[in-house]
């Protein structure tokens, strides 16, 4: 720490510090514009981190990271077809597990999805985080962006969302998912597992795949 001699210099230093603090806390007057297409999941029942018919015996579990570019490609390019053909029709349910090792915004993204799950809006949050995903190496997920995304999700309480995202309960849930990923041998994201009608869990894909590749495995499971 440097000691500043002289009253005038001390006052000037304080003024500079206050200026920096106040400017850092100032809200931008320009609204954050976000993409907000929820058509892939609109109208599909969800509970917590589960999307689709809870009674179906075929389930897909995805381990994902909200900052992962490959997860984004799957969510935007492959998932809409699977959602329309298998989830919306009640044939397959999908369930999400979040890890947070890709980049500096990964922990915040996971916390927001887990917090949204407490309002049964996890899949909406996940979709919009992917649609508005920034550079994985940066802190792209700001509070302004989080609030802008929350505002695009009908029925989501943004204040509760942000409070829950910072809660011990959400942190504990995230830690539990880390342990689950380790036990399952997850080496990267996205990783998918398929639960078949006999209750067995099979590795489905590491890194994604095409809609037809997923559909082939789903059809095999549904026919068994």
Look up residue 95 and give its DSSP letter. E
Q: Which pair of tokens denotes residue 177?
A: 């998912």
Express each pLDDT in 175-199 by its tens digit: 999 999 999 999 999 999 999 999 9
- DSSP conformation class of 84: I
* Average pLDDT of the residues of the chain: 89
**What whole-number percentage of the chain has pLDDT above 90?**
84
Which ranges constitute the DSSP H helices of 77-121? 79-82, 106-117
Dihedral angle sign, alpha carbons of residues 169, 175, 178, 180: negative
Cβ atoms of residues 67 and 105 within 8 Å: yes
Average pLDDT over residues 165-174: 98
Residue 181: CB partners within 8 Å, gap ≥ 6? 63, 97, 99
Q: Does pLDDT of 22 surpass 80?
A: no
Beta strands in the chain (DSSP E): 46-47, 50-51, 59-64, 93-98, 191-195, 201-206
The tens digit of pLDDT for each residue in 67-79 reads 999 999 999 999 9
Q: What local confidence, expressed as pLDDT, does residue 31 receive?
A: 58
Sheet containing strand 201-206, strands side by side: 46-47, 50-51, 93-98, 59-64, 191-195, 201-206
C-alpha gyration radius of the chain? 21
Distance CA 182, CA 76 (A): 26
Q: Say yes or no to pLDDT of 120 above 70.
A: yes
CB 49 within 8 A of CB 117: yes
Is a pLDDT exceeding 60 seen at residue 14?
no
Distances (CA, A) of 17 to 4, 11, 13, 25, 100: 14, 10, 6, 12, 34
Residue with the bigger pLDDT between 13 and 65: it is 65
| Residues recorded for the chain | 224
Above 70 in pLDDT, residue 63? yes
Top-tier CATH class for 34-223:
alpha beta
Domain positions in the chain are 34-223
**pLDDT beyond 70 at 114:** yes
34-53 confidence digits (pLDDT tens):
889 999 999 999 999 999 99
Q: Which of 15-19, 164-168, 216-220 has the lowest mean pLDDT?
A: 15-19
Check whether the bond before 87 is cis (ω within 30° of 0): no
Instruction: Return the pLDDT at 32.
Output: 78
Q: What pLDDT does 5 receive? A: 38
Taking each helix axis from N to C end, the angle separating 122-131 and 106-117, rounded to the nearest 10 degrees, works out to: 150
Report how far Cα 99 is from the mean position of its chain's Cα atoms.
9
Please, which pLDDT band fits residue 26 given cuts at 50, 70 and 90?
very low
Interatomic CA distance for residues 48 and 66, integer angstroms: 17
């Amino acid at each position: 720490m440097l000691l500043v001699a002289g009253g005038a210099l001390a006052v000037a230093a304080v003024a500079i510090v206050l200026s920096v603090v106040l400017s850092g806390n100032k809200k931008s007057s320009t609204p954050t514009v976000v993409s907000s297409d929820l058509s892939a999941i609109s109208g599909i029942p969800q509970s917590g981190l589960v999307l689709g018919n809870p009674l179906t015996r075929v389930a897909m579990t995805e381990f994902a990271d909200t900052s992962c570019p490959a997860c984004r490609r799957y969510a935007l390019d492959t998932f809409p077809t699977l959602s329309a053909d298998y989830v919306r029709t009640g044939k397959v349910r999908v369930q999400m597990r979040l890890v947070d090792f890709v980049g500096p915004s990964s922990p915040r993204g996971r916390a927001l999805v887990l917090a949204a799950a407490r309002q049964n809006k996890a899949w909406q949050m996940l979709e919009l985080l992917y649609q508005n995903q920034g550079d994985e190496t940066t802190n792209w997920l700001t509070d302004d962006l989080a609030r802008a995304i929350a505002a695009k999700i009908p029925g989501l309480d943004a204040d509760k969302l942000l409070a829950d995202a910072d809660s011990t309960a959400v942190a504990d849930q995230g830690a539990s998912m880390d342990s689950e990923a380790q036990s399952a041998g997850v080496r990267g994201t996205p990783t998918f597992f398929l639960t078949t009608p006999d209750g067995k869990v099979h590795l489905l894909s590491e890194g994604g795949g095409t809609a037809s590749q997923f559909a082939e495995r789903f059809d095999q499971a549904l026919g068994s």
